[in-house]
Amino acid sequence: MAGSIERVTEAARQAGMEIEVRRMGASTRTSEEAAEQCGCGVDQIVKSLIFQGEATDGLYLFLLQGSSRLSLAKAQVLAGEKLKRADPRLIRDRTGFAIGGVSPIGHTAPVPAFAEDALLKHDAVWAAAGAHDAVFRAEPGKLLAAAKATVADIAE
């Protein structure tokens, strides 16, 4: 999507974080593919999952290690409403990112975010940068701050 990578770079800059977006020339759509391309463990890949509130229709962003699974029960407690997986088209319309390239930062409208506490144990993590072959490396603390994410126990 035109401008997606630029939005990610600009959001990082506004949060005081200099990032270098890397186009890998191969798919980084899944955490496994991203880990292979980045030469890191799957747990160092940040998954950016978008869910939708059933009551409010609003979107929520959940950031997890690539190796973790989101606990829907814990996510619903944090959101304060029942959640469903958001439709890919809706995600694109409301965040400006296509599935496989959804970044933790740089959405076209602010999205309330929650992040798995375990992400903070890594020196560095890699996250999607707005395209299916684009990633960037970041200190997790800085990345979660840039995403304005509430750190919580959200994994199964």
Binding residues for ligand 5CA restricted to 86-145, rule: CB under 6 A: 88, 99-102, 127-128, 135
Please select the residue that binds ligand 5CA; options are 11, 40, 45, 115, rule is CB under 6 A.
45
Please select the residue that binds ligand 5CA; options are 5, 7, 43, 47, rule is CB under 6 A.
47
* CA-based nearest residue to 62, from 112, 100, 99: 112
Q: Is 41 in the site for ligand 5CA (CB under 6 A)?
A: no
Per-residue contact flags (x/-) with ligand 5CA for residues 10 to 29, judged by CB under 6 A: ------------------xx
Question: Is 42 in contact with 121 (CB distance < 8 Å)?
Answer: no
Q: Is 49 in the site for ligand 5CA (CB under 6 A)?
A: yes
Determine how β-strand 149-152 pairs with β-strand 113-116.
Answer: parallel
Q: What is the DSSP code (8-state) at residue 155?
A: B
Rounded distance between C-alpha atoms, residue 64 and residue 42, angstroms: 11
Question: Is 112 in contact with 78 (CB distance < 8 Å)?
Answer: no
Binding site for ligand 5CA (CB under 6 A): 28-31, 34, 45, 47-49, 85, 88, 99-102, 127-128, 135
